[in-house]
Amino acid sequence: MRESKFYLFLGLGVLAFSIIWTLLVFLQIEGDIGEYANTPRTIPFFLGICMGVLGLVFLYQYRQGYVPKNQSKPLMVNEIRNIGICIFLFISYSFLLKYFGFLISTPIVIYFITRFLLSEKNWKLNYVFPIAITGLLYFLFIILLKSTLPRGQIF
């Protein structure tokens, strides 16, 4: 009998999420996989496949008998706070993407992550890092991959 079923539940959860994700990509986003140019469906489909592989890796780890480190140590208050902040930020990011688009909402969310989640006090990192990451992602997706990024309804 195994001591911990952490990797079993984690693997099944990630695998189920990836299957639901991939189905929603096919049902909600228009475009064909396998076309020469990238479609809006390409990157979410690739992410769904990666999540499925990760779920299979977790199930393999469970089968091999891996157990998480520090099982008996409970979650600390700051960890629970950080999980709550992450959930709030990602839900907010989805709404910001819908109305303001990628170029405005991404630096805002990255700023809040570095400022409040990572507790970074350096102003250079708080202001330059979000703009640099957004610029890098813009260059990667628009220039190199010739793909599109979400545009907001307001702008």
pLDDT band, very low/low/confident/very high, at 1 (cuts 50, 70, 90): very low
In the prediction, which pLDDT does 75 show?
A: 62
Over the range 28-59, which residues count as b (16 or more CB within 10 Å of their CB) and which as e? eeeeeeeeeeebbbbbbbeebeebbebbeebb
pLDDT at 73: 63
Q: What is the pLDDT of residues 134-143, one digit of tens each?
A: 999 889 888 8
**In total, how many domains does the chain have?**
2
Answer with the one of 72, 90, 110 that is the final residue of a domain.
72
pLDDT in tens, 87-105: 898 889 888 888 898 899 9
Query: Which residue, 72, 93, 119, sits at the end of a domain?
Result: 72
Structural domain harbouring 46: 1-72
Q: Do both 15 and 57 map to the same domain?
A: yes
Domain boundary (49, 72, 95) is at 72
**Residues 86 and 138 placed together within one structural domain of the fold:** yes
**Distance of CA 54 to CAs 11, 35, 79, Å?**
8, 26, 23
Residues 26 and 79 in one domain: no
Among the ranges 50-59, 71-80, 112-121, which has the highest mean pLDDT value?
A: 50-59
